[in-house]
Amino acid sequence: PTTTAPATTAGPSAPTTTPPVRTSAPGPGAPAPGRLGVRVSTDDVVLTDAYWNAAGTTTTLRITVTNTGDVTEQIRLSYTLPAGMTDAGTAGCAPAGGGGHRCGAWTTAAGARFSTLISVRVDGDAWRRMPLSGAVRVSATAPGVVAGSVDDNEGFAVLFPPGPPVPGIALRADGVAFDISGSASELAVRLGNTGKVDADGRIEVVLPDGVTIPAPPAGCAALSATRTRCDVGAVRAGGAATLRLTVSATAEAQRDAPLAGAVVGRLDPRSGQARQLQMSFRITAAAAMATPIATPAPAGSQGVLAAAGAGDRPGGGLSTAQRGAVALIVISVLLVVLALALATVSLRRRLTGPSGGR
């Protein structure tokens, strides 16, 4: 896209562009021209095992922006980095305080999509603060064409590998994914004992704000609103223990996804030193990519969608058409039962009545 410098800063100097994605020609009932719309999506910051052998790691955060409106727009971008993570000198972006940064504007045609890379540095001790998540926000205007503005936002997770490396212990956590209903999901954590002696196992789960374990199972206890500790018992040498937890999230937390959580695994052998590993895992939600039914364009934060059609009836009851269909089915069944009863009575009379030829 063409880069237009605002009064204070300019846009990142070299966005990676992709061919424009044009919308189809409007048909009957399509909205009138002059509609603003914008959508942003982010990749996660994924760290490799090399992170554990460096004082700091410089990597990139890829951001993709789409003009979902039907007019040429001026799109501006801002992002917030978590503690332990700093900007590594992204051209055209300037600090805005509190870990926030603001970038310049792009002139983007209707339906066009582009990507840009934000250079970031993850401190060598940032793992002590996990889980870490950040956020990206875009806003779009069309001065002189459409009044007002629209915006969209999405989070990103900073994913650490298991570590710091310690022999004799292994740890793995599957991601958590909330479907469009927003109902609870499951987190599975596997703690492995790769040592030569048995050890007592313990797992702690750390979740971001708005994400909780509403009913910890036996052996687990909530240490705080976002931290839960579970004793998994003795883990034999060469064996593993698997923990499964039910996880819930508020609608706001799901809209902010992707987010990051963290798990800490610990083995305490009867003799020898305790061993500990920790890692982060990804939390995603379908609601973050959904467009509310009442909103004609994806121009803002998206909420959790209710079940299809449920909002038309208080309490989720049957509609008038459905009640009518049920009534017809009931009447049909009653008629069939009545016909069978009459046929049975008639047959009994013929079998028990006097024979006319005797």
Range of weakest confidence among 203-212, 222-231, 263-272, 289-298: 289-298
| Phi, psi values for residue 313, rounded to 5° | -135, 125
Regarding beta strands 113-123 and 85-87, do their DSSP bridges make them parallel or antiparallel, or are they unpaired? antiparallel
Averaged pLDDT, 49-53: 95
Task: Give the separation between CA 142 and CA 107, rounded to whole angstroms.
Answer: 9
Q: Which CATH superfamily is domain 1-161 in?
A: Immunoglobulins (2.60.40.10)
Tell me what pLDDT residue 113 has.
94
Same fold, 1-161 and 162-296: yes
What is the longest distance spanned by two Cα atoms in the chain? 117
The domain spans of the chain are 1-161, 162-296
Task: Give the separation between CA 185 and CA 177, rounded to whole angstroms.
Answer: 6
Task: Give the separation between CA 161 and CA 280, rounded to whole angstroms.
Answer: 7
Range of weakest confidence among 41-55, 89-103, 247-261, 300-314: 300-314
- Residues in contact with 323: Cβ distance below 8 Å, sequence separation at least 6, in sequence order: none
Whether residue 160 is predicted with pLDDT greater than 90 in this model: the reply is: yes
Name the more confident of 272 and 1: 272
The reported pTM is 0.68
State pLDDT tens for residues 83-134: 999 999 888 899 998 889 999 889 999 999 999 999 999 999 999 999 999 9
DSSP SS3 for 201: strand
How far is C-alpha 64 from the geometric centre of its chain's CA atoms?
17
| Phi, psi values for residue 15, rounded to 5° | -65, 145
The answer to whether 277 and 171 have CB atoms below 8 angstroms apart is yes
DSSP SS3 for 53: helix
Tell me what pLDDT residue 135 has.
94
CATH architecture of 162-296: Sandwich (2.60)
